[in-house]
Amino acid sequence: MLPTGIDPNSTEILPVAFHPVLWVAAAGVFAVIILQSVIYLRAIRRAGAAADLTDQQVSRAVRAGAVAAIGPSLAVALVAISLLPLFATPAVLTRIGLVGSAAFDVAAAGLAAGTQDAQLGGPTYTQKIFAIGFAAMTLGGIVWMLSALILTPILSKGDQTLRKVNPAVMTVVPAAALLGAFFTLALAETTKSPVHLVTLLVSAATMGLCLLGAKYLKKSWLHEWGLGFAIVVALAVAYFMTTG
């Protein structure tokens, strides 16, 4: 029978979101990535000999990569922490932190919740909706992996053909798809409540300022931190609007 605390209609999502099975799965994802990196590193050392690359130089490249990744990793961590209340640790670690990305996974979960006439977060956010949202993220990830493995060789041939036929296809179609999707998701939020509208605008404005700052003040770290800052500032404004 079902373990205690599992009730599809309960809005207390933590018993499901912190379910031991999810922790095991999250640990599995980490283990696979660590293993993959170990195997890659050994292969690189072996191949390096033939390509005039010493072991010391490989180690130096690993160190340089590690140092370069500190800032961006902290920026990703900030975004991930802000999503913890919504999806809890195992889902956030695997989907937002590693395999997926904040933008697409939140969009996928939100769309899936919408098909059940529910919203992420609100009073309709039950264990069932969490499960459906998480399944949508994961299925999106599976499709992503399958297309990476199966479609990439096909697309890369098609890519050359498409580019020959009409280079505009490759720029117009993805841009229109991405912008159409995010504008619709953003505008749908504005119809929920005035606080949602202001939160959206503050988030957009903060991001805009960060990107302008990155460009004109030549502070490229603002680029990486934009999403994290925008989420924190927008949530803070939402807090003051609802409590003040």
The tokens for 39 are 């195997």
Cβ closest to another protein, residue 16 vs residue 80 = 80
Selected from 5, 6, 170, 219, the binder of another protein by CB under 8 A is: 170
Cα distance between residue 141 and residue 133, in whole Å: 12
Cβ closest to another protein, residue 1 vs residue 225 = 225
Nearest distance, CB of residue 7 and another protein, angstroms: 18
Cβ closest to another protein, residue 7 vs residue 111 = 111
Cβ closest to another protein, residue 7 vs residue 44 = 44
Helix, strand, coil tally for the chain in percent (to 5): 85, 0, 15
Selected from 6, 24, 35, 168, the binder of another protein by CB under 8 A is: 168
160 binds another protein (CB under 8 A): no
185 binds another protein (CB under 8 A): yes
183 binds another protein (CB under 8 A): yes
- To the nearest 10°, report the CA torsion of 146, 149, 154, 155: 70
Cα distance between residue 239 and residue 233, in whole Å: 10
Residue type, 173: V
Cβ closest to another protein, residue 8 vs residue 152 = 152
Q: Which of residues 32-71 bind another protein (CB under 8 A)?
A: 32-34, 36-37, 40-41, 44, 47-48, 51-53, 57-70
Q: 28: which residues sit within 8 A by CB, 6+ positions away? A: none
136 binds another protein (CB under 8 A): yes
222 binds another protein (CB under 8 A): no
Nearest distance, CB of residue 170 and another protein, angstroms: 4
Cα distance between residue 144 and residue 138, in whole Å: 10
Cβ closest to another protein, residue 6 vs residue 38 = 38
Name the DSSP class of 210. Answer: H
Q: How far apart are the first and last CA of the chain?
A: 46
- Count CB atoms within 10 A of the CB of residue 66: 10
203 binds another protein (CB under 8 A): yes
Q: Which of residues 80-99 bind another protein (CB under 8 A)?
A: 80-86, 89, 92-93, 97-99
Q: Which of 153, 48, 30, 36 is nearest to 93 (CA)?
A: 30
Selected from 19, 30, 91, 194, the binder of another protein by CB under 8 A is: 30
24 binds another protein (CB under 8 A): no
Site residue total, another protein (CB under 8 A) = 135
| Cβ contacts of 183-190, under 8 Å, gap ≥ 24 | 185/107, 185/110, 185/111
Task: Write each residue from 102 to 121 as x if it is in contact with another protein (CB under 8 A), else as -, in one continuous string.
Answer: xxx-xxx-xxx-xxx--xxx
The tokens for 217 are 């003040």
